[in-house]
Amino acid sequence: MGTKKQTTISEGVITFKDLSILHITSPFDFNIAEIVKYHAIIIDFGDEDFMSFMIKKIRSNDHQKTALTPIFVLNMPKTADIYVKTLIDGVLFSLEQIDLIENTIRRIQTKCNDIYVADSISFEAKVINRTFNQLYTRDKKRLEPFPYHKSSIGYVFPELSLHFKDNDETQVFKILDIIEKEDLVTSSFHQRIYTCTSCDSGILNYREVCPKCQSSDSKEEDLVHHFPCAYVGPIKDFKNKLDDDLNCPKCNKHLKHIGVDYDKPSILYTCNSCSHKYQDFNVKAKCLVCLQDNDVESLASKSIKSYETTKKGEDLALNGYLSTSGDLDEMKGTVSYEIFQVMLNYELERLKQNDSTSNIAYIKIANAGEIYSQIGSDRQKVLIAEFIQLLRANLRSSDFITFYNSSTLIMSLNEIPERVANGILGDIKDLVAKLLTQNFKTIDTDIITKVFPLDPELSYKLQLQILLEDSENG
């Protein structure tokens, strides 16, 4: 059966087999609330600015199904901006090619069904969650920077930057720092940029200015060095009104060959504002956003990097990303991951001097995404706080707890044998299961725990790595 026989078009809706595709032929047809009803969208008009606005509006929508809807463009303009090029799922040249996008639509649908709808605790966590959902459903493993003239930093990461206004894009660096710190991505150097010391904008006007009055209004002329008599002066001193010959004002000799009897070692600048003469100018960088005039030496240097998702980052989309480590560091009864590492290192040094046994362990709620997806962010905080309170009640004050992520906690169980540590962790596992069952009667809890005895001969980093790899594979 041909594509034409399987396709019908009626009132802006294309039906192909069991797929309903919204066909937008005018900016006036755009109603974002209607998009959730369709399997895909085809944009078919030439207003490039509105096309970019529409795509960013869809991709940043709070409703996950809307944000991840497959988008195709019919006859995309060659001058379409980077957001259009990177955030769409394909280009059509005719509506008769609908069959060519069927597999793409169904593949994205399948990927979307894999992920949990997570209500993140903070704005940062919400943006990270949406960004990784977009990458996962499009089989992308890289978050790449692209030069963009409308960006306040000169670059955009389309899947991430779309969540920020143009004048707020410096917050993109904050998100990138978080995902790299939390091992959701690995990075590689791409480019270095310099930004304003006042507002972090990269839109700067570089000017050579007078060192005395800072004016950029100046004229320049060559300095001439006459070898035989060693006279040095501006070229105007060597010129005459009759012809183009150069004659030395000191010895009156005619200058014939540059490099033989004279050279031009430098340039002399004369400021048109204050008449100051100088050879070495200052360089200023005026911010075109806040108008701060920066010395180039004081500009903030930032590295633009390319990022590749890790296994932990890929799992994020499947389990949901509820909170950053910064959100979790604020939980009473826990320490930050950095502090936990320091304390673990101290404990290993202590074990080298003492004949005793200590352990590290993790407890992981494997189906945390399924659980958290059923409650709002406020209730998530309450549940996590109850979880921590339960652990603290069953651990000694000398044992430390830290979050690895919103589904996994790491703890130290010091100065007890591995057998005792396993018993304590088993009791905690039963109590956590009871807590979750009371709150989520229709969900089967899936809790994984494991104890690792500390080896004083191995580094704390290696032992943490072994524990975390086990938790991620568990």
Q: Choose the weakest-confidence range: 211-215, 294-298, 437-441.
A: 437-441
Distance CA 114, CA 92 (A): 27
- Tens of pLDDT, residue by residue over 240-291, are 877 778 989 899 898 988 888 899 988 889 999 999 999 889 999 999 988 9
Res 326: pLDDT: 67
Res 78: pLDDT: 80
Res 140: pLDDT: 94
Please state the pTM of the whole predicted model: 0.68
Count H helices, E strands: the chain? 15, 24
Residue 322 pLDDT exceeds 70: no
Distance CA 426, CA 406 (A): 20
- Tens of pLDDT, residue by residue over 346-369, are 999 999 988 889 999 999 888 776
- Tens of pLDDT, residue by residue over 166-191, are 767 778 988 999 999 888 999 999 99
pLDDT band at 239 (very low <50, low <70, confident <90, very high): confident
Q: What percent of the chain has pLDDT over 90?
A: 45
pLDDT band at 1 (very low <50, low <70, confident <90, very high): very low
- What value, to the nearest 5°, has the Cα angle with vertex 361 and ends 119 and 369? 15
Res 416: pLDDT: 93
Question: Which pair of tokens denotes residue 275?
Answer: 């008449």
Question: Which pair of tokens denotes residue 139?
Answer: 């089989």
pLDDT band at 315 (very low <50, low <70, confident <90, very high): confident
Ranges of H-type helices in 238-396: 311-319, 325-329, 337-353, 368-372, 377-394
More confident residue, 94 or 371: 94
Residue 450 pLDDT exceeds 50: yes
Residue 5 pLDDT exceeds 60: no
Residue 84 pLDDT exceeds 80: yes
Sign of the CA dihedral with 407 first, then 63, 144, and 93 last: positive
Res 375: pLDDT: 63
Q: What percent of the chain has pLDDT over 70?
A: 93
Res 110: pLDDT: 94
Residue 216 pLDDT exceeds 60: yes
Residue 2 pLDDT exceeds 60: no
Q: Provide Rg for the chain, Cα atoms.
A: 32
Distance CA 281, CA 304 (A): 30
Res 372: pLDDT: 67
pLDDT band at 474 (very low <50, low <70, confident <90, very high): low
Sign of the CA dihedral with 84 first, then 90, 96, and 102 last: negative
Q: What is the dihedral of CA 431, 435, 436, 439, to 10 degrees?
A: 170
Res 383: pLDDT: 79
Question: Which pair of tokens denotes residue 242?
Answer: 């009759």
Res 327: pLDDT: 64
Average pLDDT over residues 203-227: 92
Question: Which pair of tokens denotes residue 120?
Answer: 């993140």
